Amino acid sequence: MESSTFIYFLTVSILLTLAPGPDILYLLTKSLSDGARAGIILACGLVSGIVFHTTLVMVGVAALIKSSATAMLLLKIFGAAYLLFLAFGAFKAARAGKKQLGIRNEELGIKKPLALYKRGVLMNVLNPKVLLFFLAFLPQFVDLSSDGASLTILFLGVVFAVQALTIFSGVALFAGRVRNLLLRGKNIGQVLNFVEAAVLAFIALTLLLF
């Protein structure tokens, strides 16, 4: 791959990552709700999902899934159902009034870092729009007739994931600082939980309807 092509790919990738979308919207909300650490862990899960989709593109599975209307529909339904499940959990936490200044992360619903990491992975893996995006995006920068086309696709997917993790971590750290200021207000934790539930429900509906 020529250096100019790589620079162009990296520039476009950064702009796409910064563009308002479901991942960065939920990441921002989660970081405001549970802090920068939670946001970074979630980001690691989200970018792991990117690597997963890249692998599917590389081995040709993504194209097979796209060609099956049933597979796409099932993936969309499972993805939306999972998001609504998370939204219901956030809504219950808000109703219970669990968010208070000084409560440990384990009591804020994060429980274990692995659980939050898995959440990020599943949110991306169960989103057919992410699969379709990488299926259309990555091959544009690869000579598909070359012997190393598959490895180049994997390389570009990893590069996309690394830059996304860098940007997502920056967003999480920024939101974590904002959160510290917001928590000085009364009942702001509950409000953030309601916002998280609303964002998850919104993402689920857009997944089903568009």
3-state secondary structure 83-122: HHHHHHHHHHHHHHCCCCCCCCHHHHCCCCHHHHHHHHHH
Residues 81 and 107: their CA atoms lie apart, in Å, by 25
Give the whole-angstrom CA distance, residue 87 versus residue 54: 27
Cα distances from 174 to residues 37, 116, 167, 168, 169, in angstroms, run: 11, 19, 11, 10, 9
127: left (phi > 0), else alpha (psi -120 to 50), else beta? beta
The number of CA neighbours under 13 Å toward the Cβ of 45 is 24
- pTM (predicted TM-score): 0.85
pLDDT at 107: 42
Distances in Å between the alpha carbon of 37 and those of 34, 40, 117? 8, 5, 11
CA angle (126, 127, 129) in 5-degree steps: 155
Return the pLDDT at 187. Answer: 67
Give phi and psi for 184, each to the nearest 5. Answer: -75, -20
pLDDT for res 110: 47
Q: Please tell me the predicted confidence (pLDDT) of residue 106.
A: 42
Q: Mean pLDDT, 10 residues at a time, over the chain (210 residues)?
A: 89 93 92 92 96 94 92 93 92 69 43 87 93 94 88 95 97 92 72 87 87
